Structure 1
Amino acid sequence: MKRFFAWGNRLHNGESSIPFVGKAKLWLMITGVLVLLSLLVPLIAGFNFGIAFKGGSQFQIDHVSDTSPKKGEDLVSDVVADSEPRLTPTGDTAVKIETNQLSDDQMQEVRDALVGGYDVKVEDVTSTFVGPEWGQDVTEKMLRALVIFVGIAMIVMALYFRTWKMSLAAIVGLFVVMIVTTGIYSATGFEITPEAVIGFLTVLSFSLYDTVVVFDKIRENTTRFKDKRNLKFSELVNLGVNQTTVRSINTSVVSVLPIASILFIGVFLLGAGTLVDISLSLFIGTIVAAASTLFVASPLYALLRANEPAVKEQEEAVRELRLKNGAEDVPPVIHAEV
């Protein structure tokens, strides 16, 4: 732990440096590949949408002695061959079975088969169904919420930082989080439920918060950058990212650990369900969001401003001063506020 904090101090002082900006094109190229793969995977594998999005029938069976998928799925398939049952344990003695939408008669037959097959009471088996219209309505509301969130985020970022380039870089980072996270869901086959979407939107808020913290430090470092001759603009941006790297890592770890605990409890103790759905999206998204802030949003902001005349002039002035003083064209160690 001491080494970690010592490393953090070196990053803050400029004694050590991670080339977030210096290798911006590399990070963005890697990001581009990940985004492309995340867009291609759903086209090949599709998404595993939950019953709330695609509609269907659902059976909840309590007080069962066998929670293995085979038994429950076979019981349903024996009654309705093309029902495509999917069993998920929701506890040590409870399971949930989702199927394609069944008729009332079919649902009653399946209920009777489950009561007999699991040797439980009639009241231990409950059934519900979700029509395709309701699922479509949920999907539309999800997309509407996403558009509203991104729109508000763009406006708030632009007003807060008073520059559209920071706002654009932050929003691109958000889109990377969205695309990569959904790509992971598609590749792994994790079920997308309303609870997962709630967790996903929460992650976007975390990503935005993390980006604001880093950008705030960058803005502090680059204030009146034209008058500074110890560091170039790009180096000031990179220093700001390095100075907040440990904080960003700590925030992410502090967030991920309890989420991982909830995920563990949900999977191994309570069984899959709402707890798992929301914690899984939070777990994946938080990790992706932290990486996006450091390796996408911040380097992209530096690149967006690289061709500004004032930035070019300042960087050239710093370079000439270093050469004039017989120094290498590399950032010096900073032991005080820049």
Structure 2
Amino acid sequence: MKTIKNENSPELWLVVITLFSIMLGCRIGLSVRRVFEEVGKITVHFDSENLDSSMQSSNMSKIYIAPNPCKTEGLTTRVLAGHPDFSLRVNVGNETVRKPSYLLILTVGIRQKDIVAKIVSKFSQDFAIILFHYDGKTSEWDQFEWSQRAIHVSALTQAKWWYAKRFLHPDLVAQYEYIFMWDEDLGVEHFNAQEYIRLVKKYDLEISQPAVKSNTNLSWKMTQRRKNVEIHRFSEEPPEYCPNPFSPPCAGFVEIMAPVFSRKSWNCVWHMIQKPEEKIGVVDAQWIKHLVLPTLSDESKSINRTQARLEVRARSHAEWKEFEKRMKEAEKQHSVKL
């Protein structure tokens, strides 16, 4: 029997494969087209109760997004994680590590390390410590024992409120009952942190600071130390300087050099919301000295300090004007909604 050899078989298989690929591509293309047509008909939203009335009255198709997509309703509190905090994790066997109740935050440069060490010595281990380094030097603090349990954050030439907005979100500090946000040039010979907290609780102060004694006139009258009183809430400025004696700068404010915030007030401060004036005061019985030392600059580079101060002041005024502008816009929008 003679065998017939099909010399065209490779070409035949190529034709079959090509036709199959075309059919499969058409099928996929039609499916994708139907999906996009359906997507084009819908609008995603999260909470219909909070939609504007104009959106609620429309006939748009809507997809319901579950408020709890991770399905954690059935999990116990022992499984769910709470707010994060700054507590360090160490391997200590079965020993329980006590979490600090308070938080001390200092914005520092290495030139003031000895003064900073004296400040820290006034705070017990019931305080977590965070150092914000504006000069980039962190390892130089290793000589201090307490530095080993502190958290160090470094960013060149930044002030403490720059750090605060980026690293001190209210959720992160929710564990701490009081937050001390201090400068590095403070004398603390007459200060005791535990006694200070006792007085703050006694007088129900949400925002406070220790009274200030200074050899210069850089402190507001409101924050200067008074004798024979534990705290005060109002300034002793004459009427010509205080047309409204119950509002800043005659009452209801503290300076930024050594403020202390309760947990509840920090949630407002971080969001730039003013607290009621009656919850703000100065603690006279625990006072500090403003040493007025150079910070955020390098004297070895012969920086014109007068010019630097003028630039900082100009920037502060510009930022305050911008803040006032935003507050007015927010008040206007709020009144329109009402």
Q: Same fold judged by TM-score > 0.5?
A: no
Is the strand fraction higher in 1 or 2? 2
Instruction: Kindly indicate whether structure 1 or structure 2 has the higher relative contact order, using CA contacts under 8 Å at least 6 residues apart.
Output: 1
Larger radius of gyration: 2
Q: TM-score, normalising length from structure 1?
A: 0.21
Give the structure-2-normalised TM-score: 0.21
